[in-house]
Amino acid sequence: MYKPDPKLKHLFDWHVESDSTWDEQLSRTRYHYRNPSPPPRPDAFRSIGLVFFNSSLRTRTSMEVAAARLGAHASTIIPGSGVWGMEWRDGVRMDGKAVEHIREAIGVLSRYYDALGVRLFATGTDYALDQNESRFKKILETATVPVINLESALYHPCQALADAATIYEHFRDEVKGRRFVLSWAWHPRALPQAVPNSALLMAARLGMQVTIARPKGFELTPEIMKLANSYASQNGTSIAQTDHQDVACKGADVIYAKAWSSNMRYDNPNAEAGLRNHYQDWRIRKRHLGKAVFLHCLPARRGVVVDDAVLNSSQAIHLLQAEFRLHAQMAILERAWNLL
């Protein structure tokens, strides 16, 4: 199990951080939302290197703007696009396409920057590698400056913090006990589970009554469910699962839609695709909303994950949710650089 390094304020995921750190970061995120003017710049100039092994819109731009608002410089690095391809394996002869080893790359970047942000999705082909977060942990072990997880195989802490702040702001702090529905949705691609994992853990930690609506075969891993249930137990709440989307959404306060793949993709991707395509009608429709607000991390495929009538309604607060990404990133950088 990964343990935080007290000398380096890495952000791997919130579940390895204390409740006091989580509460402080949530408070600072909301502070930046309510006080949009940039805070006084720190005395020392700082910089952050943003390493994107996978595509991004909100994460990349919100982190770039957050750094600028704090008086820092951000550089975006895309391995394989103007930057050498990386080798992850240790003890191998590098006579293939990979030109630079991740240990040298992160070692060098740690000497140039005051923090690193890394986006590194699940491979979708090596279950043990993904479940152990082996590649991301190698970065944490190698870096000598704080590393911020911009979405890894299992977690998306930046999104989780923004989601929590959005919910708190919308409900004016009256969050505990409200009904949170995490609804699976169909997607033409087998997507990773980091966002649904983080959304589930976030809602359980906030003390919400959580229901996961997903077809059979699309359960989240037992390890994630165990952790979520531990949060629910601490808060005196519960986590339910169902394969009936309509039933799950009745009486919800929040409906969070997200597509994710079955773990069958690791052993039999064709069977996973066949199972997933059997549920193409799983999307959020206007009838599902009731009194609930709608959340989605974006990008959301209209007419696939969610209907236009939902996204165009006043109950959709996904743009506010996306705005909170900027405020969350500012709070996270403040912590990494001891600016609080």
Q: What is the pLDDT of residues 227-286, one digit of tens each?
A: 999 999 999 999 999 999 999 999 999 999 999 999 999 999 999 999 999 999 999 999
pTM above 0.75, yes or no: yes
Structure tokens at 140: 């944490």
Shared domain check, 198 and 105: no
The mean pLDDT value for 10-37 works out to 96
252 and 112 together in one domain: no
Residue 174, CB-side half-sphere exposure with 13 Å CA sphere = 3
Same domain for 186 and 146: no
Strand partners, 149: 118
Measured in whole angstroms, the distance separating CA 159 from the mean position of its chain's CA atoms is: 4
Residues 93, 108 within the same domain: yes
Q: Are residues 90 and 72 in the same domain?
A: yes
Same structural domain, 82 and 169? no
Which residue is listed with tokens 């930057």?
83
Residues 169 and 316 in one domain: yes
Condensed to tens digits (0 to 9), the pLDDT of residues 294-334 reads: 999 999 999 999 999 999 999 999 999 999 999 999 999 99
* Mean pLDDT, residues 125-147 taken together: 98
The 10s digit of each residue's pLDDT in 83-117 is: 788 999 999 999 998 999 999 999 999 999 999 99
Q: Provide the pLDDT for residue 202.
A: 98
Q: What is the pLDDT of residue 166?
A: 98
Structural domain contains residue 99:
yes
SS (H, E, C) 2-34: CCCCCCCCCECCHHHCCHHHHHHHHHHHHHHHH
Whether 61 has a pLDDT exceeding 70, the answer reads yes
Would 331 be classed as within a structural domain?
Answer: yes
Indicate if 119 and 250 belong to the same structural domain: no
CATH at residue 56: 3.40.50.1370
Say if CB 55 and CB 298 are below 8 A apart.
no
**Residue 86 covered by a domain:** yes
Q: Is residue 226 part of a domain?
A: yes
- 169-207 pLDDT, tens digit each: 999 999 999 999 999 999 999 999 999 999 999 999 999
The runs of H, that is alpha helices, within 100-181 are 102-112, 127-131, 134-142, 157-170
Give 30-60 pLDDT, tens digit per residue: 999 999 887 777 778 999 999 999 999 999 9
Structural domain including 135 reads: 14-155+325-336
Strand partners, 209: 179
41 and 86 part of one domain: yes
Q: Is residue 117 one of the residues assigned to a domain?
A: yes
Per the model's pLDDT, the better-predicted residue between 151 and 43 turns out to be 151
Judge whether residue 157 has pLDDT over 90.
Answer: yes
Helices (H) and strands (E) in the chain, counts: 13, 11
Q: Is residue 295 part of a domain?
A: yes
Instruction: Indicate if 193 and 308 belong to the same structural domain.
Output: yes
Is 98 within a domain? yes
The alpha carbon torsion through 18, 24, 30, 31 (nearest 10 deg) reads -160
Domain count, the chain: 2
Domain shared by 207 and 305, yes or no = yes
pLDDT of residue 83: 79
* pLDDT at residue 82, rounded to an integer: 77
Burial class of residue 265 in the structure, from the number of CB atoms within 10 Å of its CB (0-12 exposed, 13-18 middle, 19+ buried): buried
> Is the pLDDT at 2 greater than 70, yes or no?
no
Co-location of 149 and 216 in the same domain? no
Residue 2 lies in a domain: no
